Amino acid sequence: MSPTDVLVLDPKARDRVAEDRELRSRGPVARVDLLGLEAWAVSHPAYLKRLLTDNRVSKDPRRHYPDFEQTVQRWPLWLWIAVENMFTAYGADHRALRKLVGPAFNHRRTQVMRPVIQEITDRLLARMLAKEKAGAVVDLRADFAQQLPMDVIHHLMGMPVEWQKAMAEPVSKVFSTSLDMAAALKNGEDLAALLTDFIEYKRKHPGDDLTTDLIRARDGENRLSEKQLVDTLILVFSAGYETTVGLIVNTHRNLLTHPRQLEIVRRNPEVMGAAVHETLRRDASVAFLPLRYAVKAIDLPEAGVRIEKHQPIVAAYSAAGRHADVFDQPDVFDVLRPNASSHLAFGHGTHMCLGAPLAVAEAEIATTSFFTAFPDAVIAVDEDQLTPMESIISNSLRELPITRRGEKQTREAA
Ligand code: HEM
């Protein structure tokens, strides 16, 4: 297969590992179809780094994608390009929008969040232990991984707990690639309406939180339009939930299915951070990131590719994490891999993930605490019964049912 043969990405992501392998086999940069939209997918880490720092590549469709209006009308992933925030900004606009949110996620603020994350984790684990005691099956995704990032973001944004239920579904649907256009459109509109109401609520009930800071930047200093304010909240809530849920699920899954690696982490708790990064490398929770656009034509002769002006580009993060040119035996989960943290799962360059330190802190605290509370946990079903999230973008599992080693053996013997 050549780079110009189009690989149609599976909206249900039934076999991500095989699909990524196929993509890499077509070359460092190759054509894909993403729900009916063709783009260049970049799956080689060196090419990704180059293109993510090349100012001939933009994320602003309003300036650099002439098909923008039509695409927003027909493409189920329309919200990913229609939002007006740092995620879809270029150059000076990007710097200005990112500056408003950046300080909330710096190293010091993340350190301050650690006790909060620990407290939320302990509360969730206590609830899981009680649920287990009552005889119910514990689902590590629904009961733990999904709750923790949500509670953390709500704390950061100053969102009261009663809003949580309403937020969870529309945010998770942002990552779904199984919605038709009408459902995707309604979901984006519902989410914007919900956050517009929330902004009104926060205008009346300001606090020491990021939403209040952003409202001040809008109302007091006129540094944001009302749409940019709503869309920045869409970004922070979406980026903060599903991606981190995926990381927490994937890290637990990898440790539970690799007992020797788990043993290394148990004996050396300081290795847990490395286990989280190795999971990001091997199973990036954001698999594909739409979209970027060529500001000018870009020639990549060594790849046999020329990206024409305005053509869309997608970063293939999960495929890059298993590239054999960079990672020795890339399918192997090895918590002691020396270069695991050179993965690109948080992106690279100006748009690199703002929440990366926070996400890693959450996953580290979650896994360390989980394996203390459930030292003999095992996955309750066979691995081939674990079903992936139906999403080209989000790379994780729909459920991760957990039981105790002894109980699984008893059930299997019965
Ligand atoms: C495991 C968890 C996470 C993963 C894998 C992840 C991944 C990414 C990636 C790949 C990008 C770069 C997108 C691009 O290619 O342009 C990104 C951007 C971003 N992420 Fe994350 N993210 C995670 C968690 C978070 C959290 C917890 C937050 C905040 C609460 C967050 C906030 C952001 C923001 C604001 C951006 C946009 C930055 C910009 O455009 O300048 N992320 N993330």
Q: What is the CA radius of gyration of the chain?
A: 21
Give the pLDDT band (50/70/90) at residue 410: low
Residue 2 Cα to ligand 1 midpoint, Å, equals 31
CA-proximal residue: ligand 1, atom 20 (nearest): 353
pLDDT in tens, 296-321: 999 999 999 999 999 999 999 999 99
Mean pLDDT along residues 235-262: 96
Closest ligand 1 atom, CA of 289? 15
Residue 354 Cα to ligand 1 midpoint, Å, equals 6
Which domains are assigned to the chain?
7-413 (1.10.630.10)
Residue 20 Cα to ligand 1 midpoint, Å, equals 21
Closest ligand 1 atom, CA of 97? 41
Q: Residue 223's pLDDT is what?
A: 84
* DSSP states along 163-184: GHHHHHHHHHHHT-S---HHHH
CA distance 339 to 325: 12
pLDDT in tens, 91-141: 999 999 999 998 888 888 788 899 999 999 999 999 999 999 998 889 999
Q: 349-359: string of b/e by CB count within 10 Å (b at 16+)?
A: ebbebbbbbbb
Q: Residue 409's pLDDT is what?
A: 66
Give the pLDDT band (50/70/90) at residue 265: very high
Mean pLDDT of the chain: 95
Taken in order 187, 239, 339, 302, is the CA torsion positive or negative? positive
Q: Residue 105's pLDDT is what?
A: 85
Residue 243 Cα to ligand 1 midpoint, Å, equals 8
Give the pLDDT band (50/70/90) at residue 413: low
More confident residue, 143 or 165: 143
Q: Residue 167's pLDDT is what?
A: 93
CA triple 299-300-302, angle to 5 deg:
145
Mean pLDDT along residues 332-338: 98
Mean pLDDT along residues 33-57: 98
Q: Residue 88's pLDDT is what?
A: 98
Q: Residue 125's pLDDT is what?
A: 98
Given a cut of 80, whether residue 262 has pLDDT beyond it is yes
Given a cut of 80, whether residue 41 has pLDDT beyond it is yes
Mean pLDDT along residues 257-269: 97
